[in-house]
Amino acid sequence: MFAYSYSRYGSPDVLEKIEIPTPAPKPDEVLIKVHATTVSAADWRVRSLTLPKGLGWAGRLMFGITGPRKPILGTDLSGVIEAVGDKVTQYQPGDAVIGFPGADLGAHAEFVIMPAEGKLVRKPDNISFEQAAAIPFGATTAYDFLVNKTQIKAGDTVLINGASGSVGSACVQIAKHLGAHVTAVSSGSNVQMVQQLGAERVIDYRREDVTALGANFDVVVDAVGTLPWSRAQHLIVPGGRMLLIAGKTSDIIFGALKARMKGKRMIGGVASESRDVLAAVVDLAERGVFAPVIDRCYPFDEMRAAHAHVDTGHKKGNVVVFFTGKNQSNALE
């Protein structure tokens, strides 16, 4: 099988297309023929070792000190079960699935092994393989922060910074679905798209200063890393919460302490990856409540170009890499 591999941290040029033996599933595993995957912000961070400030050495310990420990990137996949291990009863060859290897990586390959009980669900028939691959990374992060960690409720006022990215575009849709009133922050070229996703008001960060909005929000979400506690605190009502999805380690630690002293709460850290959360967001997509935004689709052979686009830091939603089928554009475009 073919895969993209890298042996040193760096630009998209470190990626090499290689041919390696197709693995065989163990008794409790499935072998998936990948139809589509994504290049996520995590792929960019791990490939280039561009980690949030304060995580440098921890990151090297986690991902490999002198070079990458896991040579194949890729956090998301959609595909079809090719083979199952002896003990697997829930899937059979031919089943279409959505997988979220997440931090385990490995989806930039023609075939991927996953535990049958892992972060894997059936792909609904009304979702294409390209859309399916674009669901896990952004939507599971948004769901875990907004639903599991924060319990956003109808009527809450929510400010979402970075609303046009993979995580932000999912946050807007999920917050809207929960009945929240969403104010979003994006650049001018993405204002219309973010409005279509459900934002009632959109601030163009290049023209307006979001910190001048006043104390209007029950919840402030930073999915970029430009709105830390020091800039956002006065926007949050007493008893309100700040979700620091992207930001420096020191902002998470000291922000949390300062928030507590002001009777507010800061929630940061890493989204928990689970099959339950994946199933919840796939259900939202099947019901048409959530539609992953797709910026561009690249054929597998153009993996480096897909990474280069993600490296700009200005993708809209998700960048998909496909093996088979036609290039699919987003219904919202």
Ligand X SMILES: NC(=O)c1ccc[n+]([C@@H]2O[C@H](COP(=O)([O-])OP(=O)(O)OC[C@H]3O[C@@H](n4cnc5c(N)ncnc54)[C@H](OP(=O)(O)O)[C@@H]3O)[C@@H](O)[C@H]2O)c1
Residues that bind ligand X (CB under 6 A): 40-41, 45, 138, 141, 161-162, 164-168, 185-187, 190, 205, 223-226, 245-246, 270-271, 313-316
| Closest separation in Å from C-beta 254 to ligand X | 17
CB nearer to ligand X: pick between 40 and 128: 40
DSSP string covering 60-128? HHHH-SSS-SS----S-EEEEEEEE-TT--S--TT-EEEE--GGG---SBSEEEEETTSSEEEPPTTS-
Residue 245, both tokens:
């999805």
84 versus 223: smaller Cβ distance to ligand X: 223
Shortest reach from residue 134's CB to ligand X, in Å: 11
The residue among 43 and 156 lying less far from ligand X, judged by its C-beta, is 43
Quote the CA–CA distance of 101 and 73 in Å, as a whole number: 10
Q: How far apart are CA 100 and CA 80, in angstroms?
A: 14
Please state, in angstroms and as integers, the Cα–Cα distance from residue 150 to each residue in 102, 172, 209, 225, 271, following that order: 22, 15, 26, 19, 12
Q: Shortest distance, CB of residue 197 to ligand X, whole angstroms?
A: 12
Is the Cβ of residue 116 or residue 203 nearer to ligand X in the bound state? 203
Please state the closest distance from residue 213 (CB atom) to ligand X, in A: 14
Q: How far apart are CA 99 and CA 121, in angstroms?
A: 7
Least Å from the CB of residue 30 to ligand X: 25
10 Å Cβ neighbour count for 305?
A: 15
Give whichever of 86 and 209 is closer to ligand X, judged by the CB atom: 209
The residue whose Cβ lies closest to ligand X is: 165
